[in-house]
Chain A
């Protein structure tokens, strides 16, 4: 299999340096990592133009994100790139845990059928970025991708931002109404605005290697606590496309990065893990990890998303996946504010909701990292006993923590969501990300509920059209198509089952496919109030 080819993206002299100038961008995005690129596509889908500035001109090099969660794939579907990712990626849902050399237990992350997307795919970050860049290029009038454009200064204006940009052809200034800082964990925008980033750094080091080899390992996540082959530390093996395997090996805090990443030291460790078989090393790095975030994600006209806002250790795959959820949460709000369809107060809900999401990710990632790196004799002993009980007793398995894999957080209790209707049953309470289910459209074609929910506000009802006053999309779940209104058929009954969908009930669903409100007996009045609340319109 040919190794991934890092093709540089072309640099073009920006308009500002070749005569044309004066255009004030609706949105300036700093950083063309997965988060900046996803934000650009989402803005384009809302018809909002943006420029994306990146100091580099290739996709992410080396061993970074590989696990993309079901929710991310659903968001990627909305952005028009999900199916391509799934096709290229390695689909998996089973994790196996070993202690010393015995299997302790295995878990299935998506035990139920009837979802379009798998629990997870593994796909190297460079593919994800490449596919996102190629999708961006389908919006030539709305997205201006500028590589080798480094932002060196940024300033808040009364009604926008101004930034300084450095290119191979010299410097220029740029203005925008809003700036989204997607410039990663070492964000320089943060530093330029004096925004403090606080984190907890874990002292242990992790040797992260991608190797190319032919092996018939199943598409599963294998995690070892104290395996014989790796001298008492933890190890993780994961399959990626193109016969590439990711191997994470925990090393002590005092391991020497230069020494440990030398091939003559890496090769024996890999051999011990995968056995005697031919392999080639694709990439080696030694990482330490941290968990933390900035206080607020919205600073005037500058909005932080992705790693610039929050950083986690990778054991729950919550970094990139969390950042994609930032985009999902932010862009519809920003677009509504920019089109004067909502007040800037709506952006404050991005801050509240995603700070909450980040905290959940930080908590989970920190606990997993702690479980993996006991700090003293007591912690070792406790973990050992949990692992030994886990072999025989189901309760102890849930205490074993090798990573709590990314799932979307609930936004229940935040300002945009209405209080739940006590008459409604089922897990899809206000705040929750909508569950998928198979459906058929009016012409009988099979499809998926989430694809029908789309990316705008929608009022979904069961059996009869929902009562609405304003101009909002409506979707009816029925057994037969209803003339004059978009209907999908719940052939399998899974929509009704997952949404507690009794006849007449209605859901008010946000553009990011989170439930804003639900009513057993909806009225136009109730729906209007819920919609107003979900758009942060003053009561």
Chain B
């Protein structure tokens, strides 16, 4: 599996969590959605590895919608 689910954020975890919240501050629901989608596309491009992205998609989908038990 090429997706890394071990910690890979060094010391930046709490900062990034905070910045993610700050980035969404003051946005409408649709705008928030758009921010997330842009972010995903930017990060997917940064990752570059199609297999890893597909694996991430699969893990993220788990437990949601029709696949829910």
Query: Which residues of A come within 8 Å of B, CB atoms?
Result: 364, 367, 370-371, 378-379, 382, 386, 388, 392-395, 397-399, 401, 404
State whether B14 touches A364 (Cβ < 8 A). Answer: yes
B14-42 residues at the A interface, CB under 8 angstroms:
14, 17-18, 20-21, 24, 32
B39 CB → nearest A CB, Å: 13
Bound form: Cα–Cα A404–B14 in Å: 10
A399 / chain B contacts, CB cutoff of 8 Å: 13-14, 17
10 cross-chain pairs, A with B, having the tightest CB-CB distances, nearest first: A393-B5, A367-B14, A395-B7, A398-B7, A378-B24, A394-B6, A398-B13, A395-B5, A399-B13, A399-B17
Residue in B6, B14, B17, B24 whose beta carbon sits within 8 Å of that of A395 in the complex: B6
Q: Can you spell out 30 A-B residue pairs with CB atoms less than 8 angstroms apart?
A: A364-B14, A367-B14, A367-B17, A367-B18, A370-B18, A370-B21, A371-B17, A378-B21, A378-B24, A382-B17, A382-B20, A382-B21, A392-B5, A392-B59, A393-B59, A394-B6, A394-B7, A395-B4, A395-B5, A395-B6, A395-B8, A395-B9, A397-B7, A398-B7, A398-B9, A398-B13, A399-B13, A399-B17, A401-B17, A404-B14
Q: Report whether over half of chain B's contact residues are helix, strand or loop; otherwise say mixed.
A: helix
A255 CB → nearest B CB, Å: 24
Residue of A nearest to B15 (CB): A367
Contact with A along B28-69 (1 / 0, CB 8 A): 000010000000000000000000000000010001000000
Bound form: Cα–Cα A378–B29 in Å: 9
Residue of A nearest to B32 (CB): A378
State whether A401 touches B14 (Cβ < 8 A). Answer: yes
A370 / chain B contacts, CB cutoff of 8 Å: 18, 21
B10 CB → nearest A CB, Å: 10
A387 CB → nearest B CB, Å: 12
Bound form: Cα–Cα A370–B14 in Å: 10
B62 CB → nearest A CB, Å: 8
A379 / chain B contacts, CB cutoff of 8 Å: 21
A103 CB → nearest B CB, Å: 18
Residue of B nearest to A383 (CB): B17
A304 CB → nearest B CB, Å: 27
B3 CB → nearest A CB, Å: 9
With known contacts A370-B18, A371-B17, A382-B21, A394–B32 Cβ distance under 8 A: no
Bound form: Cα–Cα A397–B5 in Å: 10
Bound form: Cα–Cα A392–B60 in Å: 11
Bound form: Cα–Cα A231–B62 in Å: 27
Bound form: Cα–Cα A397–B13 in Å: 10
A214 CB → nearest B CB, Å: 38
Bound form: Cα–Cα A95–B20 in Å: 26
Bound form: Cα–Cα A370–B22 in Å: 12
B21 / chain A contacts, CB cutoff of 8 Å: 370, 378-379, 382
B8 / chain A contacts, CB cutoff of 8 Å: 395
Bound form: Cα–Cα A393–B20 in Å: 20
Known: A367-B14, A386-B17. 16 other contacts (CB 8 A): A367-B17, A370-B18, A370-B21, A371-B17, A378-B21, A379-B21, A382-B20, A382-B21, A393-B5, A393-B59, A394-B6, A395-B5, A395-B7, A397-B7, A399-B14, A399-B17
B34 CB → nearest A CB, Å: 13
Residue of A nearest to B14 (CB): A367
B5 / chain A contacts, CB cutoff of 8 Å: 392-395
Bound form: Cα–Cα A371–B14 in Å: 9
Greatest chain A CB density within 10 A among B4, B5, B14, B59 is at B14
Residue of B nearest to A367 (CB): B14
B43 CB → nearest A CB, Å: 14
Bound form: Cα–Cα A396–B7 in Å: 7
Bound form: Cα–Cα A382–B4 in Å: 20
Greatest chain A CB density within 10 A among B5, B8, B21 is at B21
A364 CB → nearest B CB, Å: 7
Bound form: Cα–Cα A240–B32 in Å: 44
A106 CB → nearest B CB, Å: 16
A371 / chain B contacts, CB cutoff of 8 Å: 17
B14 / chain A contacts, CB cutoff of 8 Å: 364, 367, 399, 401, 404
Bound form: Cα–Cα A395–B14 in Å: 12
A102 CB → nearest B CB, Å: 13
A397 / chain B contacts, CB cutoff of 8 Å: 7
A392 / chain B contacts, CB cutoff of 8 Å: 5, 59
B31 CB → nearest A CB, Å: 11
A401 / chain B contacts, CB cutoff of 8 Å: 14, 17
Greatest chain B CB density within 10 A among A386, A388, A392, A395 is at A395
A382 / chain B contacts, CB cutoff of 8 Å: 17, 20-21
